[in-house]
Amino acid sequence: MKFIKISAFLFSLILFSCQPKYYIPNTQQITMFTEKGDVNLSLNGDGNQFELQAAYALTDQFAASANFSRFAPRDQENGDGGSGYLFEVAPGFFKPFGENYVFEAYALAGIGKVENHFPSRMDSINVNPEIRSNAFRVGLQPSVSMLFDRFSIGLSTRISSLNYANIKGMLSFNGVDQIDYLKDNRSNFLIEPALTARFGTEKVRAQAQYGFSYNASNSEFLQNRQYLSFGVNINMNIGDIDL
């Protein structure tokens, strides 16, 4: 498992150093709620990105969640790099069925920013080679999970619209004006299936999630197309807390 994590970290560094990136998919929050008062807390990451997630079951069927993701890898030796963040809120619905299953669906609404800087490309054309943009994402995330005493697994799909606005900067990369490129691709439709596994005690578990991001609007869009994140998950009911 440690080898996989290191490999994913190095792979993402290589990808980022080759070209600008305008979208990095974040870990999907799978709450696995079954009743009112359930709480889900997660801390996730992949070496370049860290994420905080929280959710609460308001009733026996409805919940609310929030996610914060920060992408901030170390710059390359030549100074090239980038960063970004996303803050997202999501009202949702959940429904246990069978003996060990739960279905849930969340409506997502997020806002963030992305920037790329390439000082190694500074010349008469790229006086200050960087690009910055606001980002907005809305979507729907249904999932089905299997719950056990020490183990749980969930299959989810995030279907979303990703849009860019207030695009600024001056960056030419491989003969392509990146400002015009991002403006031409300001609207994107994403389909992102993911598999989540948790192992541990009843309330505290280690979590791993593998996800794939398919851009149905532009399959060649400059983004990461897969991710592997690791973290710690706390899932409990507030009724279990002794005050």
More confident residue, 13 or 163: 163
Predicted pLDDT of residue 74: 83
Which CATH number do you get for residue 42?
Answer: 2.40.128
What is d(CA 36, CA 64) in angstroms, rounded to the nearest whole number? 11
Predicted pLDDT of residue 102: 98
Predicted pLDDT of residue 10: 39
Residue 135, CB-side half-sphere exposure with 13 Å CA sphere: 26
Which segments of the chain does DSSP mark as H helices, in order?
2-18, 178-184
pLDDT over 60 at 4, yes or no: no
Query: Closest Cα partner for 36 from 14, 65, 56?
Result: 56
For residue 208, give its domain range. Answer: 2-240
Query: Closest Cα partner for 133 from 166, 110, 161, 162?
Result: 166
pLDDT over 80 at 166, yes or no: yes
Rounded to an integer, the average pLDDT of 73-83 is: 85
**Which residues have a Cβ under 8 Å from the Cβ of 36 and sit 6 or more positions away?**
57, 58, 59, 60
Tokens of 59: 């009733």
Rounded to an integer, the average pLDDT of 174-195 is: 95
Q: Does the pTM of the predicted model rise above 0.85?
A: yes
Give 40-102 as a DSSP string.
EEEEEE-SSEEEEEEEEESSSSEEEEEEEEEE-PPPPTTS-EEEEEEEEEEEEEEEEETTTEE
Predicted pLDDT of residue 124: 54
Angle at 66 between CA 164 and CA 235, to 5 degrees: 145
Predicted pLDDT of residue 242: 57
121-133: pLDDT as tens digits: 776 565 678 999 9
Predicted pLDDT of residue 243: 53
Percent above pLDDT 90 for the chain? 74
Predicted pLDDT of residue 89: 98
Predicted pLDDT of residue 76: 82
Query: Closest Cα partner for 85 from 110, 64, 106?
Result: 110
Rounded to an integer, the average pLDDT of 165-173 is: 91
Query: Closest Cα partner for 214 from 188, 233, 232, 235?
Result: 188
pLDDT over 80 at 135, yes or no: yes
Amino acid, res. 120: S
Tokens of 16: 């980022």
The pLDDT confidence band at residue 8, using thresholds 50, 70 and 90, is: very low
Percent above pLDDT 70 for the chain? 89
pLDDT over 70 at 137, yes or no: yes
State the total domains in the chain.
1
| Mean pLDDT of all residues belonging to the chain | 89
Rounded to an integer, the average pLDDT of 82-96 is: 96
Tokens of 176: 């392509």
pLDDT over 50 at 117, yes or no: yes
Amino acid, res. 215: N
Contact between residue 98 and residue 112 where contact means Cβ atoms under 8 Å apart: no
pLDDT over 80 at 12, yes or no: no
